Amino acid sequence: MSTTSDTSSSMESDTVGVRPFTGEEYLESLRDGREIWIYGERVKDVTTHPAFRNTARMIARLYDALHDPALQDVLTTETDTGSGSRTHKYFKAPKSGEEQLLPALRSECTGLVQKSAGAGDVSQPRYHPPTC
Protein backbone atom coordinates (compact mmCIF):
# COMPACT_ATOMS: atom_id res chain seq x y z
CA MET A 1 0.00 0.00 0.00
CA SER A 2 1.06 3.55 -0.45
CA THR A 3 -0.23 6.93 0.56
CA THR A 4 -1.57 9.54 -1.81
CA SER A 5 1.28 11.87 -0.88
CA ASP A 6 3.98 9.23 -1.31
CA THR A 7 3.85 6.81 -4.23
CA SER A 8 6.67 4.61 -3.00
CA SER A 9 5.92 0.96 -2.43
CA SER A 10 6.71 1.05 1.29
CA MET A 11 4.02 0.61 3.91
CA GLU A 12 3.17 3.85 5.65
CA SER A 13 2.51 4.00 9.38
CA ASP A 14 -0.35 6.53 9.29
CA THR A 15 -3.63 5.54 7.66
CA VAL A 16 -4.66 8.93 6.28
CA GLY A 17 -5.13 8.62 2.53
CA VAL A 18 -4.06 4.98 2.33
CA ARG A 19 -5.23 3.35 -0.87
CA PRO A 20 -4.55 0.16 -2.82
CA PHE A 21 -1.59 0.08 -5.20
CA THR A 22 -2.03 1.11 -8.80
CA GLY A 23 -0.94 -1.52 -11.31
CA GLU A 24 2.40 0.20 -11.89
CA GLU A 25 3.05 0.53 -8.15
CA TYR A 26 2.33 -3.19 -7.74
CA LEU A 27 4.77 -4.11 -10.51
CA GLU A 28 7.40 -1.81 -9.03
CA SER A 29 6.90 -3.45 -5.61
CA LEU A 30 7.90 -6.78 -7.15
CA ARG A 31 11.25 -5.32 -8.22
CA ASP A 32 12.61 -5.37 -4.67
CA GLY A 33 15.51 -7.77 -5.03
CA ARG A 34 13.55 -10.83 -3.97
CA GLU A 35 15.23 -14.15 -4.72
CA ILE A 36 13.19 -16.29 -7.10
CA TRP A 37 14.46 -19.42 -8.84
CA ILE A 38 12.88 -21.51 -11.60
CA TYR A 39 14.43 -24.55 -13.27
CA GLY A 40 17.79 -23.81 -11.65
CA GLU A 41 17.86 -20.25 -12.98
CA ARG A 42 17.65 -17.16 -10.81
CA VAL A 43 14.94 -14.76 -11.94
CA LYS A 44 16.24 -11.19 -12.00
CA ASP A 45 12.85 -9.51 -12.54
CA VAL A 46 9.57 -11.40 -12.14
CA THR A 47 7.75 -8.65 -14.04
CA THR A 48 9.66 -9.40 -17.25
CA HIS A 49 10.53 -13.11 -16.95
CA PRO A 50 8.42 -15.24 -19.35
CA ALA A 51 7.32 -17.60 -16.55
CA PHE A 52 5.89 -14.81 -14.37
CA ARG A 53 5.27 -11.65 -16.43
CA ASN A 54 1.73 -12.48 -17.57
CA THR A 55 0.59 -13.26 -14.03
CA ALA A 56 2.21 -10.07 -12.73
CA ARG A 57 0.55 -8.02 -15.48
CA MET A 58 -2.88 -9.57 -14.81
CA ILE A 59 -2.66 -8.78 -11.11
CA ALA A 60 -1.53 -5.24 -12.01
CA ARG A 61 -4.68 -4.88 -14.16
CA LEU A 62 -6.78 -5.94 -11.18
CA TYR A 63 -5.11 -3.24 -9.06
CA ASP A 64 -5.81 -0.70 -11.82
CA ALA A 65 -9.47 -1.77 -11.83
CA LEU A 66 -9.69 -0.76 -8.15
CA HIS A 67 -8.97 2.83 -9.24
CA ASP A 68 -11.50 2.91 -12.11
CA PRO A 69 -14.32 5.27 -11.03
CA ALA A 70 -16.88 3.13 -12.88
CA LEU A 71 -15.88 0.08 -10.82
CA GLN A 72 -15.12 1.69 -7.48
CA ASP A 73 -18.50 0.96 -5.88
CA VAL A 74 -18.44 -2.64 -7.14
CA LEU A 75 -14.87 -3.50 -6.15
CA THR A 76 -14.03 -1.32 -3.15
CA THR A 77 -15.43 -0.21 0.16
CA GLU A 78 -14.50 2.48 2.67
CA THR A 79 -12.17 1.32 5.41
CA ASP A 80 -13.38 1.32 9.00
CA THR A 81 -10.71 3.85 10.02
CA GLY A 82 -12.94 6.86 9.31
CA SER A 83 -10.23 8.40 7.10
CA GLY A 84 -12.22 8.08 3.86
CA SER A 85 -9.70 5.56 2.51
CA ARG A 86 -10.89 2.70 0.32
CA THR A 87 -9.84 -0.92 0.08
CA HIS A 88 -10.92 -4.07 -1.75
CA LYS A 89 -14.23 -5.44 -0.44
CA TYR A 90 -12.48 -8.70 0.42
CA PHE A 91 -10.89 -6.99 3.43
CA LYS A 92 -14.17 -5.78 4.97
CA ALA A 93 -15.24 -8.16 7.71
CA PRO A 94 -18.97 -8.87 7.91
CA LYS A 95 -20.67 -7.44 10.99
CA SER A 96 -23.76 -9.66 10.86
CA GLY A 97 -24.91 -13.04 9.60
CA GLU A 98 -26.76 -11.33 6.77
CA GLU A 99 -23.60 -9.51 5.62
CA GLN A 100 -21.72 -12.79 5.75
CA LEU A 101 -24.23 -14.49 3.43
CA LEU A 102 -24.76 -11.54 1.09
CA PRO A 103 -21.79 -12.26 -1.24
CA ALA A 104 -22.95 -15.86 -1.76
CA LEU A 105 -26.52 -14.79 -2.42
CA ARG A 106 -25.43 -12.15 -4.93
CA SER A 107 -22.59 -14.11 -6.60
CA GLU A 108 -24.42 -14.21 -9.91
CA CYS A 109 -24.79 -10.43 -10.10
CA THR A 110 -21.36 -9.06 -9.19
CA GLY A 111 -21.07 -7.20 -12.48
CA LEU A 112 -17.59 -8.53 -13.06
CA VAL A 113 -18.45 -10.44 -16.21
CA GLN A 114 -15.66 -10.50 -18.72
CA LYS A 115 -16.81 -10.26 -22.32
CA SER A 116 -14.57 -10.37 -25.36
CA ALA A 117 -15.14 -9.00 -28.84
CA GLY A 118 -14.65 -12.39 -30.44
CA ALA A 119 -12.82 -15.69 -30.36
CA GLY A 120 -9.19 -15.27 -29.42
CA ASP A 121 -9.63 -11.66 -28.30
CA VAL A 122 -7.07 -11.01 -25.57
CA SER A 123 -7.74 -7.30 -25.18
CA GLN A 124 -8.53 -5.53 -21.92
CA PRO A 125 -11.43 -7.24 -20.12
CA ARG A 126 -14.65 -5.29 -20.15
CA TYR A 127 -16.44 -5.10 -16.84
CA HIS A 128 -20.14 -4.33 -16.67
CA PRO A 129 -21.96 -2.83 -13.69
CA PRO A 130 -24.28 -5.11 -11.74
CA THR A 131 -27.80 -5.49 -13.05
CA CYS A 132 -29.50 -6.72 -9.88
pLDDT digits (tens, 9 = 90+) for 28-43: 999 999 999 999 999 9
Domain boundaries of the chain, sorted by first residue: 2-92, 97-132
pLDDT confidence of residue 128: 52
**Superfamily (CATH H level) for 2-92:** 4-hydroxybutyryl-coa dehydratase, domain 1 (1.10.3140.10)
What confidence score (pLDDT) does residue 99 get? 76
Q: What is the pTM of this model?
A: 0.58
Phi-psi map region of 60: left, alpha, beta (phi>0 left; psi -120 to 50 alpha): alpha
Helix (H) or strand (E) holding 58: helix 53-65
- Spell out the residues 6+ positions from residue 55 whose beta carbon is closer than 8 angstroms to its own: none
* pLDDT, tens digit (0-9, with 9 covering 90-100), for 82-130: 788 888 888 888 888 887 777 655 554 555 544 444 445 555 555 555 5
